[in-house]
Structure 1
Amino acid sequence: MAAASKVTAGLAAAVAMAAVAGCSASLQSGSPPNTEKGRAALKGQTIRLIGDGSTAYTGAQPNQPKSKRLKRGQRPPQFVVFSWDGAGEDNQRLFSHFRAVGKKYDATMTFFLSGVYMLPGSAKELYNPPKHSAGASDIGFNDVNGIKATVAQMRGAWLEGHEIGTHFNGHFCGSNGGVGTWSPEEWKSEIQQAETFVKSWKTNAQLKGEEPLPFDYSKELVGGRAPCLEGQRNLLPAAKEMGFRYDASSVGGRQTWPQQIDGIWDFPLQQVPVPGRNFETLSMDYNFLANQSGTTKGDPAMHAAWGTQMRDGLVSAFQRAYQGNRAPLFIGNHFESWNGGTYMKAVEDTIKTVCPRRGVRCVSFKQLTDWLDAQDPKVLDKLRALPVGQAPKGDWSGYLTDSPSSSAPSRPAGPSLPARSAVPAEPAHAEVRQAEE
């Protein structure tokens, strides 16, 4: 983005604020990629424009799997969700690159769009962030070319079956008006504005001649991840009122089967191994960086080793789930070339390694939510009773055939909302250690 600071300064600020997870700093201008495939996919479909024509209803999203209830005694799939915070297309073209990677390895992903990436700096006063002045944003705003490029990627991603979630807007962290201090009503305003920016980008960026996004964002938007993983307690009531079905904002989760908080699926970043170290860290590129170099420009001689460590850690986390309790694995990322692109390569290598495996489904959070909602609640209770990395005694057929009372007891349905909100935010450089079994 033309008006925003560069990523190094953004990371330094994030470290100073002791955030758990970084976020993509400013988007840079980039020429929009070719959209011929998007045009071809929409030919012959009924298109109903919405509002100023920034979005349109074109029917149900294509390329979506059917969610089926597990058969009696059936082993569950191994789900893996790759997600991207602050997704947008800039000169690095990582959005388009990972779409291609997803197509190659049959991986559907969740792209958490920052709403201000759809708003040009010339119209920044349209954003009224809670506890901040109009036009404020800690990640700046976009420019016209950046908006066109991001729209093209969103259009193609949705048609391919990927999810467009939200990373909300201005990315405010910390105690001075950060998202962790917002009320439910302020969160509701933030969500409404994120939707509005997507549904009015043509007007705001003066791009009336461009093609619409092929979806109604107010209906498609069913989940997000809060900046710095803060503020979930007051976010959830607002998210529920706005029709969200899941939230990926919590921190320090373990590799166990998900549960709900007041009807919203809770998909936390998880603690995963750091090979060669005696602790675990969150399943996000930024947190590996924070425990390796603490800077975006660490020693080039260490880049390859750091990338290998992240890839091996993520694959190790996958293996203990795949061979154990089959809990979904959640991996968070940013479209950034930190430490020479170390983490982008690690993520791509992980996708290449795990997604083609038998019984593995690399899906979006929305698709996982659909699958969970289709299951027998008693079966989900039994799955939640399995500790990290532990397969059922005997085999899956027996475990998911027996009645719940005849084998491992179910764990409680989940923490109350106040208990979840009490989870502290760890400093960016903190070693997030594995809790005892």
Structure 2
Amino acid sequence: MREISRRGVLGLAAGAAVAGLAGCGRDHTRSRRAPGGGTGPTGTAYSAHPIGDGSTSDTGPQPHQPVPERLEPGQRPPQFVVFSWDGAGELDDGLFSRFRKVADDHGAKMTFFLSGIYLLPESRKDLYRPPNNPVGASAIGYLSDTHVRATLEQVRLAWLEGHEIGTHFNGHFCAGSGSVGRWTPADWRSEIEQAVSFVENWRTNTGFDDLPALPFDYRRELTGGRTPCLLGRDGLLPTAARLGWRYDASAPGGLQMWPGRLLGMWNLPLQSVPFPGHSFEVLSMDYNMLANQSANSTRGNPANYPEWERQARDAYLSGFLRAYETNRAPLFIGNHFERWNGGIYMDAVEDALRRIADHDEVRMVSFRQFADWLDVQDPAVLAKLRTLGPGLPPPGGWRRFLAQERIPTRGGGPVSPGPLGEGDPRNGASPPAGTAPILS
């Protein structure tokens, strides 16, 4: 997806939801303090062990993490919903801080895919050496020093509140000979190392000495990401697998089905959801709504804004209800901190989140938390869930459908049905016919 490359613009880049269920259960927090520590946003004390130049620090396990629990035989799965944000920088419009509050108000955890160069001042852009592009190049520009500071503060608070800090990599190159779609595994390794370096060395790179360290070891915390424009997975996945990543969220147009593994990682794609007023489905991301409403223009006719906002909100809710009332497949929503078309997509996703939170058995979690839950499930149960297509309820009801499902081995224990390949239709790799343009 094209990004608006001007300075200061990020470009394309409650009740039932909180309670423990057989999906994500108890909230795992810690309360300990030592010299060099600090307190989180709720006053929780933590100790800190500086890493490198002190830009980051090891403060122990992340607070506010649910303890995943295995489904009981015959138990209906929770409805998981993941809200994720590409780029994740804080500008004057305060969208990062706005959605941290929205999450807190409704018991949600989110995934923030940080673009590494959002912590690199433009005056130091020569430190970025993007594969197959000029030194310092970036399709999304760089943030002002003020916005770098604001982004650092938001990332720190988000992690302390239990949200995931993933990666959207760096320069967001979507076209030409330097496009991420052409990158090799070695190119992706370089891009990832640089993204991590910009997080681990922001203090040296910025010269800021009055901000607290980020309270996590990013190399350990980074377990997944989303590629720019949803391009380049063929090159990325081998590298991500070698790095031990647990999931990838870059696939476009996935069906609303239970996910499988690819190269050992959970394949968690953006999904095709019903698009109100149209015969085709649309990708579960704000820019794809925009592309089909205002022909890729971020400043369409204001007279259409109210209808477009309702349409975007109802697309998310239609996808949610289709899963919630049938196969309980997780819903993945991707967005950007942008005020495209007057900010209607920010209002639409907030409205959708609020309505989703009103439903029972909903778990609004990060990608990493969802991967945690998948990891503890009986592989045979997950295989059975993957037989349910979009909008298909379990035959005979959940109690009958998910009776004890185990595939015996010589040792008597369950075995995994195996990873799903690129061509396996259960991966949802190919969008249904008539789907709107796939962009990111």
Settle same-fold status: TM greater than 0.5.
yes
Using a 3 Å threshold, how does the CA distance of structure 1 residues 366 and 102 change in structure 2: closer, same or farther? same
Query: Aligned with 2:173: secondary structure?
Result: coil
Whole-Å Cα distance in 2 between the matches of residues 220 and 175 of structure 1? 32
1:137-182 deviation line (CA, Å, top 9, x unaligned): 1111122211110011011111111000000000001242111100
Contact 1:281 / 1:431 at 8 angstroms: preserved in 2? Answer: yes
Distance 2:128 2:240 in 1: 19
How far apart in 1 are the matches of 2:278 and 2:338?
A: 25
Distance 2:313 2:431 in 1: 24
CA shift, 1:398, in A, is 0.9
For residue 28 of structure 1, what is the aligned residue in structure 2? none
Q: Which runs of 5+ in 1 are unaligned?
A: 12-22, 25-36
CA distance in structure 1 between the aligned counterparts of 2:383 and 2:143, rounded to whole angstroms: 45
Residue 197 of structure 1: CA displacement? 0.2
Instruction: Trace 1:337-348 onto structure 2 (pairs within 5 A).
Output: 337-348=339-350
Q: Is the 8 A contact 2:255 2:428 kept in 1?
A: no
Preserved CA contact (<8 Å) 2:8 2:142: no
What is the alpha-carbon distance in structure 2 between the residues aligned to residue 352 and residue 381 of structure 1? 31
- Partner residue, 1:191: 192
Give the secondary-structure state (helix, strand or coil) at the position aligned to 1:225: coil
1:282 is aligned to 283
Please give the secondary structure, in 1, of the residue aligned with 2:81.
strand
Confirm or deny that 1:324 pairs with 2:329: no
Is the Cα contact below 8 Å between 1:274 and 1:280 reproduced in 2? yes
Kept in 2, the 8 Å contact 1:79–1:360? The answer is yes
| Change beyond 3 A, Cα 1:329–1:39 | closer
For the residues of structure 1 that align with 2:398 and 2:435, how far apart are their CA atoms?
Answer: 37
Moved over 6 A (4+): 417-426
**2:388 corresponds to 1:386:** yes
User: Are the structure 2 counterparts of residues 259 and 360 from structure 1 closer, same or farther at C-alpha, using a change threshold of 3 Å?
Assistant: same
Partner of 1:94: 95
* Conserved 8 A contact 2:386-2:426: no
Structure ranking higher in helix proportion:
1
Paired residues of 1:38 and 1:155 also in contact (CA < 8 A) = no
Task: Tell me the equivalent position of 1:364.
Answer: 366
TM-score by length of 2: 0.86
Match of 1:228 in 2: 229
Residues 257-272 of structure 1: matches in 2 within 5 Å?
A: 257-272=258-273
TM-score, normalised via structure 1 length: 0.86
> In the superposition, relative to structure 1, how do residues 307 and 69 fare at CA in structure 2: closer, same or farther (>3 Å)?
same
Please name the residue that 2:337 is paired with. 335
Q: 2:153 & 2:220 partners in 1: Cα distance?
A: 20
Q: 2 CA distance for matches of 1:122 and 1:425?
A: 42
SS in 2 for 1:65: strand
> Could you tell me which amino acid in structure 2 is paired with residue 340 of structure 1?
G
Matched to 1:160, the amino acid is: E
The code of the aligned residue for 1:290 comes to: A
Identity, % of aligned positions: 52
In 1, Cα distance between the equivalents of 2:185 and 2:118?
23
Q: Which residue of 2 aligns with 1:27?
A: none
SS in 2 for 1:361: strand
Q: How many residues align?
A: 401
Task: Tell me the C-alpha RMSD between the 2 structures.
Answer: 2.7
